[in-house]
Structure 1
Amino acid sequence: MRRGVKLGIVATLTAGLVGTAGYGAYNIYDSLSGGGGFSAAAAPAETGPPTAAEVKKTAADFLAAWAKGDTTAAGALTNDASTASADLAAYRQDAHVARVRLTPGTAQGDVVPFKVVASLSYKGKTSTWTYSSKLTVFRGETTHRPLVDWQPAVMHPKLTEGQSLETGEATSPPVDVVDRNGKVLDADDYPSLASVLPQLRERYGAKLSGGKPGIETWVNGGDGPGQTLHVIAEGTPAKLPTTLDARAQKAAEQAVKNKSQSSVAAVKASTGEILAFANNPSSDNNNAFNAQVAPGSTFKVVTATALLEKGVTPGTPAPCPATANHDNGKMFHNVESSSDPSATFQRDFAISCNTGFIKLAGRLDESSVPSVAKRYYGFGQTWNVGVPAWDGRVPGGPGDEMTEEMIGQGQIQMSPLNMASIAATVQNGVFRQPRLVAADMIEGPLAKAGSGLPSGVRGNLKSMMRLTASSGTAAGAMRGVYGDVGAKTGSAEVGGQEQPNGWFVAYRGDVAAGGMVLEGGHGGDSAGPIVASVLKASS
């Protein structure tokens, strides 16, 4: 718990309140004090909503009493005198409010907005806190007097029933999240980090050394210290290192701006360290890590792994007809019904021929693709990335489900991070689970694959991905991306959408990236330039 030393505070009414219209000395009703002023024949009790004049006067008297520190008088003007008096006393004592100025605004019916300027003092540190609140005036059912409807929200709009304000030393220092080179990462500069930075601070802030706590005012009640509402004195931040690279992150943020509903993630192939991720729009969902959608033909990297294990080679004849099915099942087609009767397996891969893969389905069984996905690419287990992230799903199945999964559809569900990891595994030869912070900071084990890719299979995969990047469907996007490169495009059809989801995976040297544009159409045209931009910035 955060703690604050409860000091007795003498509150003074700011001079600006004295003499202002409606802010005269507090006049408690004669009927409360038992004094005179009424004739033997009492006036008829008022009924109905309070008048505008009553609303104005009741609010003014209540605010004046609160500002003076006369909590008894202020409480008496509410429908819960004892609770209101206690809450207002705690406001001064627990929140360390030395004095408060309360300025009413124009009433809107029975609601009166007001401005609060509170002077806070704690252990020699002082601060002025300005905010707005409001109160409601109604007529009491038994007293028939105009009263303030007491709620903790009168003191501050963030308060709910059972909550109060407290000022003291924070439980821990503030935390600066930094990139791999020590650069502070800020959501203003990197908007896709807005939802992730608080998650990192919450999960790992208490594990950090260094830094000094600040002095804050926060919401107290419920399960413990809640939202910080005001900072009296900034603490010295502790540093939380991440695997991110600020340069790559900036490139990712810029790249997704060009396409709505787009996401990208990049990893270091040899370690699994996440170098960048971005989303447009930048939302709490973080689709780069948490999207659960079919990846289309980019998943043919995994399918090709299964076929290569079964003896298919890049040069194996694999005709690409306009349509094809397997075992009298669902009929599949290619983009724009293209065909190539003389195609080889590597040609099918490079031009993203669906039917060529479907005609090879007899080489596999319903467990082949899920088995390869788990054995070499780390799926089928929990990925402890450091923040919430989807683990990927390759369920397998007979009949049409098997053939649909061969081209990255059916019930397969992936995120851009999952697909970036697949490309990274091909480049590195061994699956390294993606992570956002140091492995020793993460609770729970990192996912591991059963083994590395067989050298021959890996060599063939790299050869086919290189061909796709140089003269296949990825060539346009990869133009200008030099070095040891490979890529694969994908277009995942979704029922009810006019355009398929566009996908793209690629690697360059030790960096691999996966990108997605929902309803983007062809992956090479939509997601490809996004991935290429990140790869260029990550050299």
Structure 2
Amino acid sequence: MPKSAYATTRRRKPRTMVLAVTSVAVVSAVAVGGTYAAGLGPFARGAAGPDPAALAQARAFLADWAAGRLPNAAGRTTRPATAQGVLRNFTAGLDIGKPTLTAAAPTEAEGDTVSVPFTAKMPITDLGTWTYTSKLPLRKQGDGSWKVDWTLSLVHPRLSGAKKFHLEREDTDAPEVTDRKGVALSGDTFPSLSPVLAQIDDGRGGTGPRGAIQLVDRATGKVERTEATFGKKTGRPSDQPSDRPVRTTLDATWQAAAEKALASGAHGKNASLVALRIDNGEILAMANSPSSGFNRAVSGTYAPGSTWKIVTSSALLLKGAVAPADIVDCPKYLTVGKEFHNVETSEHRNATFLKDFTESCNTAFISLRGKLGDQELGAVASMYFGVGQEWHVGIPSYDGSVPAPHDETEKAASMIGQGRVQANPLIMASVTATAVSGTFHQPSITRGNRNTTTTTPLPQKVVTQLRAMMRATVTDGTARVLSDLPGGVGAKTGTAEVAEGEPNNGWLAAHRGNVAVACVVEQGVTGGGSAGPVVRNLLAAVPTDPS
């Protein structure tokens, strides 16, 4: 089956003169969390209404598609060979990495059919995310099982035998870029910046590579409509002539240390980190492993795991639902639709809430879910931390999502940064900075970006409590890997489940002085054991705050 059958990539020269056109490699494996987004994994919820077996099959199909297990996904359809070819060519033709597929409530149609709506977030390499909605039709088979009733339109409602998609790229030259002090930055010197530099806002109102996904008539090649555009004009006022280098907020010293820490500490695993200034949100360093390809640090979509307990604790402390000294028991297991447990099934009987935080007790946090309304965690994340609002960083970014839970099981999962809560190192570094300063500052890699966020400062009492809890996590809790560092370091570890049978992602978010750092190591198993050494090495290498 030819690649052009369902989607194609085509480049065109921009309307303005460019000096070079660079090819973009198809990159696999980007957004983590497809299984949870599709409703599977350790936090699957029970079904009501339509046959649970139909819903399970739909979620399994979405999970396999999201994870790139295309033969498995196709095997869940009525036309496996056709389905596998279409899914493969759709992904490759549009330079799509690993999508995030979120199922909505199913509907039951006539006879033995069920329809499951879903939202697709398709990350287009080096450009951004294409988001759309579609539906999965399912039909009961003669043996009583359920299959996805294959049709082109389930991939996208406008994909058909007469219409296909292609990706048209309009590449622009990457501008010359310097750090905050004028030190030249390049992908040769700083490999992790390779996917970043081409995306930097050049001060002329554009942001890096541009492109569009277009719907095309198969017979004539005529463009019927544009589905999505990337790299639109930003409207950022130019503060420098276009022939001068673009000065970023990055710090060459921090960037070099971040790259070295990640290269030595990630042990070949996919990983990323961000370091930023607490007082103004300026990004000091951004590193990825591997260093080329997808910019996981700002565009990845991950379950943040227990680092999210910074936000959950904020929500609980804000309304006085709990205090650090209150007893909140931490049993090994807690059942809320499914059985939740702590890492290594640990328990801390008669623990205080402070102890629950420092030891990252899932069951204790889940037991407090009734203290928060269904919309409250998302509201606090947005109102105080800016999560889920639109950020203008200076490069394309994913700015987080905290949807209202569908049921108590999903609400329990969201309390510990699982379920459908999604973030990345940029978001968690910003969350840390906000928690310990009380004020959200839109992260930025260039100066003068628009700021359309609206947030409220955290009360000083809550800030003081959060700082004390994060400090105790270093001195007496799961972030002891940082305990020998000077400077009153505070932190929160995280272990995020991705899918049953796969190793957990490891997280660590920390602050010291005027710097906040967040790191994720995919399949790192634990935060303290994987992300912890990376952050420690970074902070040890640069012992002073940036000027």
Quote the sequence identity (%).
44
Question: Aligned partners of 1:250, 1:287: CA distance in 2, in Å?
Answer: 18
* 5+ residue gaps, structure 1: 5-170, 209-235
The alpha carbon displacement at 1:396 in A equals 2.2
Question: Aligned partners of 2:198, 2:529: CA distance in 1, in Å?
Answer: 34
State the aligned residue count.
336
Which of 265, 286, 300 is the equivalent residue of 1:291? 300
Question: Aligned partners of 1:418, 1:193: CA distance in 2, in Å?
Answer: 18
Counterpart check, 1:494 vs 2:503: no
**Structure-2 residue corresponding to 1:204:** 202
Contact 1:432/1:448, CA 8 A, preserved across alignment: no
Contact 2:436/2:466, CA 8 A, preserved across alignment: no
Counterpart check, 1:457 vs 2:462: yes
Q: Any idea what the Cα deviations from partners look like across 1:226-283, whole Å, max 9, x if unmatched?
A: xxxxxxxxxx962210000001100111111121211000110110000001011023
Larger gyration radius, structure 1 or structure 2: 1
The alpha carbon displacement at 1:447 in A equals 2.4
Question: Aligned partners of 1:471, 1:531: CA distance in 2, in Å?
Answer: 18
Q: Any idea what the Cα deviations from partners look like across 1:66-93, whole Å, max 9, x if unmatched?
A: xxxxxxxxxxxxxxxxxxxxxxxxxxxx
**Structure-2 residue corresponding to 1:347:** 355
Counterpart check, 1:336 vs 2:348: no
**Structure-2 residue corresponding to 1:11:** none
> What TM-score comes out, normalization by structure 2 length?
0.59
Larger RCO, structure (CA 8 Å, separation 6 or more):
2
Counterpart check, 1:470 vs 2:475: yes
- Quick check: 464-473 or 280-289, which moved more? 280-289
The alpha carbon displacement at 1:531 in A equals 1.8
Q: Indicate the SS of the match to 1:257.
A: helix
**Structure-1 residue corresponding to 2:107:** none
Question: Aligned partners of 1:402, 1:207: CA distance in 2, in Å?
Answer: 41
Question: Aligned partners of 2:502, 2:284: CA distance in 1, in Å?
Answer: 33
Matches within 5 A, 1:29-44: none
Instruction: Name the CA shift for 1:207/1:296 in 2 (closer, same or farther; >3 Å).
Output: closer
**Structure-1 residue corresponding to 2:427:** 418
Which of 432, 437, 446 is the equivalent residue of 1:428? 437
Q: Indicate the SS of the match to 2:302.
A: coil
2:323 alignment partner AA:
T
Q: Indicate the SS of the match to 2:198.
A: helix
* 5+ residue gaps, structure 2: 1-15, 20-171, 207-241
Instruction: Name the CA shift for 1:538/1:176 in 2 (closer, same or farther; >3 Å).
Output: farther
Q: Indicate the SS of the match to 2:176.
A: strand
Question: Aligned partners of 1:207, 1:334: CA distance in 2, in Å?
Answer: 48
Counterpart check, 1:300 vs 2:309: yes
Matches within 5 A, 1:208-357: 238-258=244-264, 259=266, 260-311=269-320, 312-326=322-336, 329-357=337-365
The alpha carbon displacement at 1:399 in A equals 1.1
Contact 1:512/1:535, CA 8 A, preserved across alignment: no
The alpha carbon displacement at 1:3 in A equals 11
Q: Any idea what the Cα deviations from partners look like across 1:117-152, whole Å, max 9, x if unmatched?
A: xxxxxxxxxxxxxxxxxxxxxxxxxxxxxxxxxxxx
Q: Any idea what the Cα deviations from partners look like across 1:311-346, whole Å, max 9, x if unmatched?
A: 2110010111011134xx332101111111120000
Instruction: Name the CA shift for 1:207/1:297 in 2 (closer, same or farther; >3 Å).
Output: closer
Contact 1:175/1:205, CA 8 A, preserved across alignment: no
Question: Aligned partners of 2:462, 2:335: CA distance in 1, in Å?
Answer: 26
Question: Aligned partners of 1:298, 1:323: CA distance in 2, in Å?
Answer: 20
Question: Aligned partners of 2:286, 2:543: CA distance in 1, in Å?
Answer: 12
Contact 2:333/2:345, CA 8 A, preserved across alignment: yes
1:285 alignment partner AA:
F
Question: Aligned partners of 1:281, 1:302: CA distance in 2, in Å?
Answer: 29
1:321 alignment partner AA:
P
